[in-house]
Amino acid sequence: MADTPAPPSPDAPRRVALFVTCVVDFFRPTVGFAAVRLLERAGCQVEVPPTQVCCGQPAYNSGDRADAVAVAKDVVAAFEGFEHIVVPSGSCAAMIRVHYPKLLGDDPVWGPRAHRVASRTHELVSFLTDVCGFESVADVGAAGSVTYHDGCSGLREMGIKQQPRKLLASIPGLELKEMLDAEVCCGFGGTFCVKYPDISGEMARKKAATIAETGADTVLAGDVSCLLNIAGKLSRDGHTVKARHVAEVLAGMTDTPPIGAGSKE
Amino acid sequence: MQPTSAAFKQQSRQAIANPVLQKALQNIRPGFQQKRAKAVAALPEFDALRDQARDLKTHVLAHLDVYLERFEAKVQESGGQVHWARTGAEACDAVLGICQAAGASLVTKGKSMVAEEIGLNSRLEGAGLTVVETDLGEYIIQLRHEMPSHIIAPALHLTKKEIAAAFMQAHVGLPEDRPLDEPRALTDEARAMLREKFLGAQVGITGANLLIAETGSTIIVTNEGNGDLTQNLPGIHIVVTSIDKVVPTLEDASTILRLLARSATGQEFSAYTTLSTGPKRRGDMDGPDEFHVVLVDNGRSSILGGPTQEVLRCIRCGACMNHCPVYAAVGGHAYGWVVPGPIGAALDPGMIGLEEAKHLPHASSFCGRCEEVCPMRIPLPKIMRYWREQTFSRKLDPAMARYGLGAWAWLARRPRLYHWATGMAARTLSLFAGRRRRFKWLPMARGWTSQRDLPAPEGRTFLAQWRAEEKRRARAGAP
């Protein structure tokens, strides 16, 4: 392909495309700006392809393979010119990295293109630590205590576990209080949460309770979709724990009110 | 057994509202998860064994006919008989035929999920036989006229209190003020009740965890010893099992056994691992006079060779359900068939039909914990996704969901229109969210707001803000 980037010189900034995800775009733009700030601090040159929409999980997880394939092709076309594709979501990153090759792999034209995009796609925090060698955000001011929820796809499909904890540990004055069963699903699950609201609600109830039991001020995670579910259940059940995407804390962008909370909360 | 999986939604709602069940389900974490984790951590080669077991079973499934016929020949060689049953009804007929030929009136039975699947008890009871379950969990649910809620712990949905009540009601003639508060008292009482049944039965029925082709042996693993008494004391031993249980050699069985108990209960090995090879031989001290193996297909051969055939690697350890947050929320009965949990969601549509079981593969958040713990490395979410695709292509899902998805996909493929529409929606919602920045109720989102608040969008979308910022920079001539 003609658009294969030339090998960068060691000092040249990494050219990174941000796939902001439809959920961040719609609900939590702050996470997109936090991602840009973190990537720039890690020496990347960030671009935001304007035709990006969604990774296609709603169709893929509902069994609508044809639409999932169509959406996946659009994403591949929009992002294949970049050296790295970075996503502030373990779930959407895993969709591209793990599932696009399965969706498009058999297609003689799209298969190789999907594989190439997949291999260049990373979740934000693991990209910072594992690819950019980013080790510390010590200059970021944060105080109090946080607990970290491991989103399922990030954890099991992308191997994200220690990376966010390592960066959080570099922030002076920030205490990490681990919750029980941090690796257990919060009950979001995409369309699952509205198709089976009772089951999803029960899973979220347990998650919210274990978060509250830590006594932490704020729950963090790497996926806004999980956080919308968690924040919504925390407030519904009367817990006062705040919810934020981990990138907001790492980027020092905590002026924005927490997810689902007014500025005075 | 008659499935009720089509009523999964109502059944799951009732399960969540059932305080006894919810209390019982709390035992899963300490009782299964923590014990498995400890056992796995103590065996460095656990993951290598998983690979080995996966490859072994994949090989067997590719040559199933060969190994089953080899198994049959060996059973016959050792003096036993094999009965091939295409359906559950054929299997029940075979078992009943053996019982009737022997003039049996009392049958003891070890735990067998295949027997539950084919509805064996009701068939035998309908013909006038008395069937007594001897596994403690199965015994309890037999007294309560229930189906198992878990494949290795059939009475998992109960607490001590319900069990004591069932014993009080069933065991007439014992003092009504006897203490049944302790598990020990309950097991002692069941033991005393079952002892006379063991001694009086003419036929003993067990399942099998594994079938060994090279020796014609069947293996059961138990912790109570009930299986041994069931199969050794009566004159006739009938093994009711399914065609997917066969492995080539004893060595292969050992590979799987090393995974089975660790994955199930966190034991290195179960208390009893019993091999049965034919009836009593001349000079043997004990054993049955007749040895029968009923090999049940009941839909498995139609799964074989298809896109979901990896479910046939399952060794019924229960690890997937023990680690499933959906199972932990609703228990086993909600699934409406004998195999619940993630393996049920992957297996049941192929066994009882997708029309009946269509909810099961959808009722998953795809968290992947089941696949993470499965000793046979069955890609459970992948198989559930296959069933979702079948649901969609066969139009078995609700029309509203299909239209909604279609509209979303149409919009998602038109970025300019999508960005305009979502930009409008985000700003509108943000405007209506007020100072609390969340919705307690929202029309069109009742599935969400029935359970939790909906955090409001911040306002302008990221892409809208980014575009504006880029324009501003361009105007200012900044890089």
End-to-end CA distance of chain B: 71
Q: Which residues in chain B land under pLDDT 70?
A: 478-479
CA B360 to CA B342: how far, in whole Å? 8
In a domain, A48, yes or no: yes
Looking at beta carbons, which residues of chain B come within 8 Å of A262?
435-437
Picking from A29, A228, A262, the nearest residue to B462 by CB comes out as A29
CB B54 within 8 A of CB B313: yes
- Check if B469 contacts A (Cβ < 8 Å): no
**Residues A172 and A197 occupy one common structural domain:** yes
In a domain, A265, yes or no: no
CB B455 within 8 A of CB A260: yes
CB A199 within 8 A of CB B326: yes
Q: What is the dihedral of CA A160, A166, A168, A173, to 10 degrees?
A: 160
Tell the residue number behind the tokens 């036989």, with chain if given.
B129
What is the token pair recorded at B362? 């959808």
Task: Please state, in angstroms and as integers, the Cα–Cα distance from residue A252 to each residue in A137, A151, A163, A228, A244, following that order.
Answer: 9, 22, 17, 20, 12
- Rounded to a whole number of angstroms, the distance from the CA of A72 to the nearest CA of chain B is 10
- Which residues lie closer than 8 Å to A2 by C-beta, 6 or more apart? none
What is the arrangement of strands in the sheet containing B246-247, beginning at the earlier edge strand?
B246-247, B210-212, B217-222, B272-276
CA B14 to CA B32: how far, in whole Å? 24
Under DSSP, is residue B241 helix (H, G, I), strand (E, B) or coil? Answer: strand
ipTM above 0.90, yes or no: yes
Say if residue A11's pLDDT is above 70: no
**Residues A98 and A163 occupy one common structural domain:** no
In a domain, A259, yes or no: no
Confidence of residue A2 (pLDDT cuts 50, 70, 90): very low
Find the length of chain B: 479
What is the token pair recorded at A217? 């001020």
Under DSSP, is residue A47 helix (H, G, I), strand (E, B) or coil? Answer: strand
Query: Residues of A numbered 49-78 whose beta carbons fall under 8 angstroms of chain B's beta carbons: which are they?
Result: 50-54, 56, 58-65, 67, 70-71, 74
Q: Give residue A115's pLDDT.
A: 98
According to DSSP, the residues that pair with B211 across neighbouring strands are B218, B246
- Fold type of domain B5-302: Rossmann fold (3.40.50)
Task: Please state, in angstroms and as integers, the Cα–Cα distance from residue A55 to each residue in A67, B125, B151, B440, following that order.
Answer: 11, 56, 37, 28
Domain limit, last residue, from A131, A164, A187: A131
**Segment A213-252, tens digit of pLDDT:** 999 999 999 999 999 999 999 999 999 999 999 999 999 9
Beta strands in B214-343 (DSSP E): 217-222, 236-242, 246-247, 272-276, 290-296
**Residues A148 and A238 occupy one common structural domain:** yes
Contact B447 A28 (CB under 8 A): no
Domain limit, last residue, from A69, A98, A131: A131
Say if residue A99's pLDDT is above 60: yes
Query: Residues of B numbered 292-331 whose beta carbons fall under 8 angstroms of chain A's beta carbons: which are they?
Result: 325-326, 329-330
Confidence of residue A141 (pLDDT cuts 50, 70, 90): confident
Which of A3-12, A120-129, B190-199, B215-224 has the least mean pLDDT? Answer: A3-12
In a domain, A34, yes or no: yes
Find the length of chain A: 265
In a domain, A138, yes or no: no
Residue A71's domain comprises: 14-131
Say if residue A9's pLDDT is above 70: no
In a domain, A18, yes or no: yes
End-to-end CA distance of chain A: 52
Tell the residue number behind the tokens 């997810």, with chain if given.
A259
Q: Which residue, A165, A155, A137, is CA-closest to A253?
A: A137
CA B215 to CA B77: how far, in whole Å? 9
- Rounded to a whole number of angstroms, the distance from the CA of A176 to the nearest CA of chain B is 23
Domain limit, last residue, from A98, A131, A164: A131
Q: Which residue, A118, A134, A115, is CA-closest to A35?
A: A134
Q: Please write down the HEC assignment for all residues of B464-475.
A: HHHHHHHHHHHH
**Segment A71-98, tens digit of pLDDT:** 999 999 999 999 999 999 999 999 999 9
Query: Residues of A numbered 180-239 whose beta carbons fall under 8 angstroms of chain B's beta carbons: which are they?
Result: 181, 183-185, 187-204, 206, 228-229, 231-233, 235-236
Tell the residue number behind the tokens 């319900």, with chain if given.
B162
CA B218 to CA B199: how far, in whole Å? 23
Give span(s): CATH 3.40.50.10420, chain B: 5-302
- Check if B461 contacts A (Cβ < 8 Å): yes
Query: Residues of A numbered 122-141 whose beta carbons fall under 8 angstroms of chain B's beta carbons: which are they?
Result: none
Q: Which residue, A250, A185, A264, A232, is CA-closest to A30?
A: A250
Looking at beta carbons, which residues of chain A come within 8 Å of B452?
201, 204, 229, 232-233, 235-236
CATH number at residue A174: 3.40.50.11810
Picking from A33, A63, A70, the nearest residue to B392 by CB comes out as A63
- Check if A91 contacts B (Cβ < 8 Å): no
**Residues A23 and A103 occupy one common structural domain:** yes
Domains in chain A: how many in total? 2
**Side-chain-side CA neighbours of residue B385 (13 Å):** 19
Q: Give residue A138's pLDDT.
A: 84
Q: Which residue, A223, A158, A238, A236, is CA-closest to A186?
A: A223
- Rounded to a whole number of angstroms, the distance from the CA of B320 to the nearest CA of chain A is 13
CA B225 to CA B274: how far, in whole Å? 9
- Check if B336 contacts A (Cβ < 8 Å): no
According to DSSP, the residues that pair with B274 across neighbouring strands are B220
- Check if B37 contacts A (Cβ < 8 Å): no
Confidence of residue A1 (pLDDT cuts 50, 70, 90): very low
Provide the number of CB pairs (under 8 Å) joining chain A to chain B. Answer: 211
Q: Give residue A264's pLDDT.
A: 59
Q: Give residue B479's pLDDT.
A: 52
**Residues A126 and A204 occupy one common structural domain:** no
**Side-chain-side CA neighbours of residue B473 (13 Å):** 8
**Residues A155 and A228 occupy one common structural domain:** yes
In a domain, A258, yes or no: no
Contact A33 B462 (CB under 8 A): yes
**Residues A73 and A155 occupy one common structural domain:** no
- Rounded to a whole number of angstroms, the distance from the CA of A17 to the nearest CA of chain B is 13
**Residues A168 and A91 occupy one common structural domain:** no
In a domain, A21, yes or no: yes
Amino acid at B91: A
> Among A91, A202, A210, A211, which would you mutate to test the B interface (most chain B Cβ atoms within 10 Å of its Cβ)?
A202
Q: Which residue, A220, A208, A226, is CA-closest to A245?
A: A220
CA B67 to CA B212: how far, in whole Å? 9
Q: Give residue A10's pLDDT.
A: 58
Q: Give residue A139's pLDDT.
A: 86
- Check if B452 contacts A (Cβ < 8 Å): yes
- Check if B454 contacts A (Cβ < 8 Å): yes
CA B63 to CA A41: how far, in whole Å? 57
- Check if A156 contacts B (Cβ < 8 Å): yes
Amino acid at B125: E
